[in-house]
Structure formats: structure tokens, C-alpha cells
Amino acid sequence: MTDSIVLQRPSSLPAGPRATSPKAERTRCTQRWTTALDGLKLRQLRRQHGLSQEKLAGLADISLTTLARLERHHRSPCRTYTLARLAAALGEPATSIRFAAPGF
């Protein structure tokens, strides 16, 4: 038996059809699962480990195109699971390649 979750509309929202557009809902959901990756740090760590882009992409099970795009930019948007896969393939904590704004 599976548990079901019942969502109720807060009384402050209109009772009509969707209060937000499908695009707004997708964007909100996507934003929770993305982060920023430090492409320069990723490239530095890849080279320190003696890996080519092809080898690291294979180890992380991501496309070579994705890896090249991430390395090309200092601050690159990235899905959290892609960040986790890259960190695991490099044997590094995810925080080591996650972009951190100065002062944080």
C-alpha cells in the first residue's frame, strides 16, 4: 500500500484553474535542483588527477559536451546530481567544485 499526499489550496489563493502557469511551476522546480559550478576549479582538479575530459565524462557518466560547457565558464549553472557525479568521479567533496561567491 502506498501513502498518498493530499495537497490543499491555501484559502488565500483563487479557487479557479491554475493559479500559476505550467512554465512558472517548471522553473520553480528546476531552480531547487540547480547550483553553480566553478568551471576553473573543475578543470584544475581534472588536470591534477591526470584525466582527460573524455575520461572524466565517462567516469561521471555525463556527456563530453556537458563537461566541456561546465569547464568553459567560471560560474556555470549545473544540476546538483551532475555536480555530485563529477565530485565522486574526482574523489573530491562537492563543495570543492561548487561556485562560492566571494565573502561566503
Q: What does the pLDDT look like over 11-21, one tens digit per residue? A: 444 454 444 45
> Tens of pLDDT along 52-94?
999 999 999 999 999 999 999 989 899 999 999 999 999 999 9
Cα 34 to Cα 9, 12, 47, 85, 94: the distances in Å are 27, 29, 25, 14, 13
**pTM, two decimal places:** 0.66
For 35-90, which CATH class?
mainly alpha
The cell for 101 is 561567491
Mark out the alpha helices in the chain (DSSP H runs): 22-32, 39-48, 53-60, 64-72, 80-90
In tens, the pLDDT along 3-55 reads 544 444 444 444 544 444 555 545 444 456 888 999 999 999 999 999 999 99
Q: Where are the domains of the chain?
A: 35-90
Q: Provide the grid cell at 45.
A: 582538479
